[in-house]
Amino acid sequence: MCYITVMSHTRLDQLSDGIFAIVMTILVFEIKVPVIWGPVDNLGLWFEIKKLLPPFLSYVLSFTLLFTYWRAHHFFVSIYAKNVDSMLTNINALFFMLVSLVPFSASVLGQFPENELSIIIFGAHIILIGLTLYWMRRYVLYSEHIKNPEISKREIRGSTIRTLVPVFFALIAIPLSFWNIKISLTLFTLAVIFNLFSYSSRLFENIMKAIHHALFGADTKGHFAD
């Protein structure tokens, strides 16, 4: 007989909130006030502040990305799951470890925004976090002793889209960086914007339905049919 240890998710929620709060705070430490020796006029100060634009944009992108991860984690652990077991906590440990590294990849991107390797590091990081989050979601939904039976198919479909879209965008952004880094950075930004709005997954479904109907006809039912 196989015994499954089931626990409350309260402690896991508290750990998640603490880790995300610390990591999101650490991000801002990369934006440092310029050190200028001697007299400084307004033009000189503005020139130095402009140098902070790349790390500031990296901060905004990474902070928003972390917010979407925190929200997704809340849904998967606190809403999709009625409780947690040891396997789910292990997946969470891997997820938290990857999340804690975001200040590093964000710092690399902020200091070297025109370098392909910085795009690769940041993009690979997004992919790893996204796949771990998808693993967490899949484990919850396929574990009868954990899954909340009240979750609808539409909610499950939406969570799949919101989890995997940033991964796909990052997969495209990495090779594109060798052609045009600005497009890669735009893809990272679009991935974050996509997950900020709740209706984005529904919009994605409608687009996929339209493409499916255009290719196979309106009378056929595809994967995204209601």
Of 124, 209, 200, 206, the closest CA to residue 169 belongs to 124
Q: Which residues, in sequence order, are CB contacts of 85 under 8 Å at separation 6+?
A: 4, 5, 6, 7, 143, 145, 146
pLDDT in tens, the chain (226 residues): 344 556 667 778 888 889 999 999 988 888 777 777 767 767 777 777 787 788 888 888 889 889 888 888 887 887 777 778 888 888 999 999 999 999 998 888 888 888 889 999 999 999 999 999 999 888 888 777 777 667 667 777 777 777 888 888 889 899 988 998 888 888 888 888 877 776 655 665 556 555 545 566 655 444 443 3
* C-beta of residue 129 within 8 angstroms of C-beta of residue 186: no
Phi, psi of 149 (to 5 degrees): -70, -10
Domain ranges of the chain: 6-216
d(CA 78, CA 95): 15
Name the pTM for this structure.
0.80
Give the rounded distance of the alpha carbon of 174 from its chain centre.
16
